[in-house]
Amino acid sequence: MLPNCAKQPNLLKLMPRDFVIRSTSGGNGGLMLLNKTALVRLSLAVVLALGAQVGTSFAMAATAPLSEIQQIKQWTTSRDRKLVETQTNEWVKTPKLDPTEINIDASKKAQSIIGFGAAFTDAACYMINQLDPAAKQKLIDHLYSKQGLGLGIGRLCIGSSDYATVAYSYDDGEADPELKRFTIEHDKKWILPVLRMARKANPDLYLFASPWSPPGWMKPNKSMLGGCMTRTYMAPYAQYFLKFLRSYESEGVPIQAVTIQNEVDTDQEGKMPACAWPQEYEMDFCSLHLGPLLEKENVNTKIWIIDHNYNLWGRALGELENPTVRKYANAIAWHGYVGAPDAIQRVHSAHPNTDMHWTEGGPDYVDPQYATNWAKWSETFTSILRNWCRSITAWNLALDEKGRPNIGPFPCGGLVTINSKTKDISYSGQYWAISHFSKFITPGSTIISSESTRKDVKHVAARTPDGKTVVVLTNPGTATEVVLRNGAQTTLVSLPGDSVSTVSW
């Protein structure tokens, strides 16, 4: 308010015509004569100078109109509401810091965000394709457009995963090291059409791709189910990646990144498409084959390694010790099934220039809380973001009410469920949780510091490209209140029990 006072004529009328103040320098015996306008200008200069001394937040409060600094909004998901704007809060000047407050400090910055999303598996795209054209378009727009959730990243499979209508590669049959049979014909039926729709809804959609298995003939067991990779076919397999990338680009769907293998450390006991890669195999494939080939062919697609659980942080450190691996692989991909997200911190501390991404984790359709565990998933996402990940990608974007299509042994559910008979769409708790992040922490946002001694409410904060501050608050317990601090100002936020809230200003 103060910087605008010079524009208010009533303020000038309240002042005497002239003021005399004592100066520590200058002539006239140290006296200075100021008229009203000069006094107002001097007062504003003093206020702004004090603001600079106290800190940036005070200066912003001093220079912004009250109508701007009080525009705090809150959206909440709980048992009786879903992503509903619940209240408008106001800032109160509170200079004294209480350690139980959640203190937001935008001057302390962490990683930038690429986006939030889910996997375009063969199964997910098949289910979406079962919808009539209008319902399909409505769902894609809701998920990917900026007017909807604004999902900004997606994962696809190089060949089939366990969530597919059938096990397939792009070169099935007998050994074909020259890849003469290579074709992505299967993907043209419903995967590529859905990807094009998603890219149309969000032209900036970031896509990365992962293989669950190379063609069976590249493995000793001659099957896509289980087994391990062989060195014999590493060079043809690098060409297989290149052909996949070029084929998708020719279909209008360029891919920004690939992982070398989904879940490198398991063959899933031969129950589904899978392939074990010893550490030195992944290192050699990256540094001697795939990396040099993409470089030679001027393909800008990034390479991410590991693509498995947090407990493989030691393997990640081992691979990144190799400078050639670091030259070609710019990121580690993490799954959330074993271990805890703080393991990521160990790798980041040793290799701060290596990006981190969370590339898989999803609900089980048999979980009684499948549709209501938003607080659980929001806690998970909060911890992931507080441990340097630039993206969060859930598992299947859509499945039916029994977690189908599925050619593997696991009872996974989709981010959304499409009923196989009625085609009605319902939503998981994970969907509601990710909504509180993707809709507000937009691509290009930066994670900033949020600190508190409170342990019952989980929190993460971000600054968006358009200058907004976003805080996601997760309250898995009973109803409570928290105080958010922004510089010398605080605001009181009410949190229902078992809830996720996004606060933005």
**Residue ranges of E strands in 90-243:** 92-93, 102-112, 115-120, 153-157, 206-210
| Structure confidence at residue 175 (pLDDT) | 98
> Does residue 23 register a pLDDT over 60?
no
Nearest to 394 by CA among 163, 84, 131: 163
Nearest to 292 by CA among 254, 325, 246: 325
- Amino acid at site 240: Y
Q: How confident is the model over 186-201, as a mean pLDDT?
A: 98
d(CA 435, CA 412): 20
List, for residues 337-386, the tens digit of each pLDDT value. 999 999 999 999 999 999 999 999 999 999 999 999 999 999 999 999 99
Confidence of residue 35 (pLDDT cuts 50, 70, 90): very low
| Structure confidence at residue 32 (pLDDT) | 36
CA angle 466, 431, 165 (to 5 degrees): 120
List, for residues 95-145, the tens digit of each pLDDT value. 888 999 999 999 999 999 999 999 999 999 999 999 999 999 999 999 999
Q: How many helices (H) and strands (E) does the chain have?
A: 15, 23
Which residues does 356 contact at the CB level (< 8 Å), separation at least 6? 111, 331, 332, 334, 344, 347, 348, 387, 388, 389, 390
Asked if 110 and 448 count as a contact pair (C-beta separation under 8 A), the reply is yes
* 349, two tokens: 């501390």
Q: How confident is the model over 167-194, as a mean pLDDT?
A: 98
| Structure confidence at residue 88 (pLDDT) | 79
Q: What angle, 0 to 180 degrees and rounded to 10, lies between the N-to-C axes of helices 36-54 and 56-63?
A: 150
> Does residue 496 register a pLDDT over 80?
yes
Q: How confident is the model over 485-497, as a mean pLDDT?
A: 96
d(CA 209, CA 256): 8
Which residues does 505 contact at the CB level (< 8 Å), separation at least 6? 69, 71, 72, 73, 468, 469, 486
CA angle 245, 195, 425 (to 5 degrees): 150
Confidence of residue 53 (pLDDT cuts 50, 70, 90): very low
How much is the CA Rg of the chain, to the nearest whole Å?
A: 28
Residue given tokens 């342990």 in the structure block: 455
Residue 234 burial (CB count, 10 A): 17
As a whole-number percent, the residues of the chain with pLDDT over 90 amount to 85
List, for residues 212-251, the tens digit of each pLDDT value. 999 999 999 999 999 999 999 999 999 999 999 999 999 9
Per-chain mean pLDDT for the chain: 89
> Does residue 181 register a pLDDT over 80?
yes
> Which domains does the chain possess?
2-66 (no CATH), 70-110+449-504 (2.60.40.1180), 115-440 (3.20.20.80)
Q: How confident is the model over 2-7, as a mean pLDDT?
A: 33
d(CA 276, CA 227): 6
| Structure confidence at residue 341 (pLDDT) | 98
Nearest to 113 by CA among 436, 385, 399: 385
> Does residue 73 register a pLDDT over 70?
yes
Confidence of residue 29 (pLDDT cuts 50, 70, 90): very low
> Does residue 9 register a pLDDT over 80?
no
Indicate the SS3 state at residue 486: strand
| Structure confidence at residue 69 (pLDDT) | 54
> Does residue 68 register a pLDDT over 70?
no
| Structure confidence at residue 86 (pLDDT) | 86
Distances (CA, A) of 114 to 85, 195, 275, 437, 446: 25, 18, 28, 12, 10
Q: How confident is the model over 414-436, as a mean pLDDT?
A: 98
Confidence of residue 33 (pLDDT cuts 50, 70, 90): very low
Distances (CA, A) of 490 to 6, 70, 145: 28, 11, 33
| Structure confidence at residue 70 (pLDDT) | 57
